[in-house]
Amino acid sequence: MCGIVGYIGGKEAAPILVNGLKKLEYRGYDSAGIAVLENDFLVYKQSGKVSNLEAIIDAKVKQVTTGIAHTRWATHGEPTQENAHPHTSNNGEIILVHNGIIENYKFLKDELIRKGFHFLSQTDTEVLVNYIQYIQDKNQLNIEDALKKALQSVNGAYALAVLDKKEPNKMVVTRKGSPLAIGVTDTNDEFYVASDAIPIVEHTQSLVYLNDDEVVTLERGKKLKVQDIYGVTKGYKVKNIDLDLNQVNKGKYEHYMLKEIFEQPSTIENTLYSHLNNENTQISFDKLEELKEKLIKAKRIIIVSCGTSWHAGIVGEYVIEELARIPVEVEYASEFRYRNPIITDEDIVMAISQSGETADTLAALRYSKSMGATTFCICNVFGSSMSRECDFTAYTYAGAEVGVASTKAFTAQVAVITLLGIQLGLERGTISKDTADGLVKEIKSLPLEVNKVLNTEKHIKSVAKNFVKSSSFLFLGRGINFPIALEGALKLKEISYIHAEGYPAAEMKHGPIALIEESLPTLMIATNNNFYDKLVSNAQEIKARKGPIVAVVNEDDDEMTHTADFVFKVPRVSDILQPIIAVVPLQLFSYHVAVYRGCNVDQPRNLAKSVTVE
């Protein structure tokens, strides 16, 4: 959460910084700020979106070539102008932007207040910048040494870009827990800093990713100087990032979310074909060989994740247990990391994460690793912390996902975990070669089938119009479609602010049925072969209580179509592959309900795409 950007070089910094912030707005949009440094700092801050900030930046910034900027997702203190970053030290000499949370800020603040420091904001960040000033003054240090020493007493997560007026040719950056990338050029005469690669790649595709606790000094014309917080010199690797810039534009679509929903035929295809052999007939996870034995012999797989990725994890539980007969536990990473879980070196712990940076998932992965488990992640961002730290990464090739509500990353995650389930089943002998080949053949047809669902958008939009005034929604599904009910409910609530709950359909009788009445619609996913009759009975129970029903059904459906008020027809595929198809109408339905309600679907209130704080 929060996005930071920095630039030091020969070009005018402000436009680079503001454009960078716009690309990071998915990380938070409560306030934005920028500081440029020539002889003194020029600071601009505004609450709300980056466009509000842009409107107040004046001509004074022209030709200034060093600066830092921030877009905020509020943690400590309301989203006001005074809490907006950058924050300046009491002596006006140090300024910084911060993504993360300083956990011991209260302790540090009390100490600083006793020493006569004062504070203008409620933020933990203002405490940090003053603590750096305090350490600098006390020990007479340059900015990088002051930062290193200060960080030795700081607990929490941070990505920081720091400027010191006394050393205007330098920028110092560091990270711990929160992501940070540095864009470099062959001549080292300019450097770009950002919370992810997206704002950087239009300038340079050569990126350096920092490890936790590394402090880097950026000076024009010099190579990066990397040290840890204790002053030990570290090496660094420059990676070439091949990111298609079209992915970070809306193109012909009104919103990123809609664009990303419509990209799914190609993102699913890219993901699938990246994990198939050259003939596209066999599953082949690159570099999985070393882990294969462990995976095949695994007594248990524990999946850790959050939000939509957690829903993909539950689909994974059904798929892996069904095909490979390995027990799977799916855990909220936030609960798992704090409840003293039993993990042994016989366990495989699998993190699922679009960003690869979610704080709870990363912590759960690290904890599992420290307990000796083999760690595996399914991740969409190359070079992310999770992909760097776990034993094996299976990437989803969904491309940059900008819309805050995850769509194409989810279907890509489900595609990867399904391939993995098939592969493990085959290796363990729990499914035959014929079954595996049949599933591989069928899974390759999914992009086409998803496209058919996308072609029904107009109908889905017309149905959505009927529910603009709903205040609550129930989503029901069974078996492998239960997580799709959870995902449908999450999509609707996060972008339209309509309260929505997902339930296993059979659980309806154990409580939620009390809510059913004319004003409470239910969305039922009724595509399974296995539970179809039971779902029809559930639908009749709802209708008997006058509840409106929208049902996702197969194209050849009959009974549910007659029971429900509205249906979304989707192609029939094997039950195990249904989630990828069934989720698409729910994404479109949520999108259109939210747009009809006038909501900002790409930037829903209070949310941020990458939750890098607890």
In the complex, the residues that contact ligand F6R under the rule CB under 6 A are 306-309, 353-355, 358, 361, 405-406, 490, 494, 610-611
Rounded to a whole number of angstroms, the minimum distance from the CB of residue 385 to ligand F6R is 11
Beta carbons of 571 and 441 less than 8 angstroms apart:
no
Beta carbons of 317 and 300 less than 8 angstroms apart:
no
Q: Is 226 helix (H, G, I), strand (E, B) or coil?
A: strand
Positive or negative, the CA dihedral 146, 148, 150, 152 is negative
* Token pair belonging to 399: 């491309």
Rounded to a whole number of angstroms, the minimum distance from the CB of residue 177 to ligand F6R is 14
Q: Which residue is closest to ligand F6R by CB?
A: 307
**Nearer Cβ to ligand F6R (86/483):** 483
Rounded to a whole number of angstroms, the minimum distance from the CB of residue 56 to ligand F6R is 31
Rounded to a whole number of angstroms, the minimum distance from the CB of residue 417 to ligand F6R is 13
Length of the chain: 614
Identify whether 569 is a catalytic site residue: no
Label the pairing between strands 94-102 and 87-88. antiparallel
**Nearer Cβ to ligand F6R (355/393):** 355
**Distance from C-alpha of 126 to C-alpha of 201, rounded to nearest angstrom:** 30
**Nearer Cβ to ligand F6R (71/406):** 406
**Nearer Cβ to ligand F6R (33/604):** 604
Give CA 269 to chain center in angstroms: 21
**Nearer Cβ to ligand F6R (30/145):** 30
Which entry of 2, 306, 379, 390 is annotated as an active-site residue?
2
What are residue 502's DSSP bridge partners? 475
Beta carbons of 526 and 550 less than 8 angstroms apart:
no
Rounded to a whole number of angstroms, the minimum distance from the CB of residue 306 to ligand F6R is 4
**Nearer Cβ to ligand F6R (375/538):** 375
Identify whether 609 is a catalytic site residue: yes
**Distance from C-alpha of 257 to C-alpha of 542, rounded to nearest angstrom:** 32
**Distance from C-alpha of 612 to C-alpha of 508, rounded to nearest angstrom:** 35
Positive or negative, the CA dihedral 609, 610, 613, 614 is positive
Q: What strands, in cross-sheet order, belong to the sheet with 191-194?
A: 41-47, 31-37, 66-72, 3-8, 191-194, 181-183, 206-209, 239-240
* Token pair belonging to 329: 């536990």
Rounded to a whole number of angstroms, the minimum distance from the CB of residue 483 to ligand F6R is 13
Which residues are annotated as catalytic?
A: 2, 609
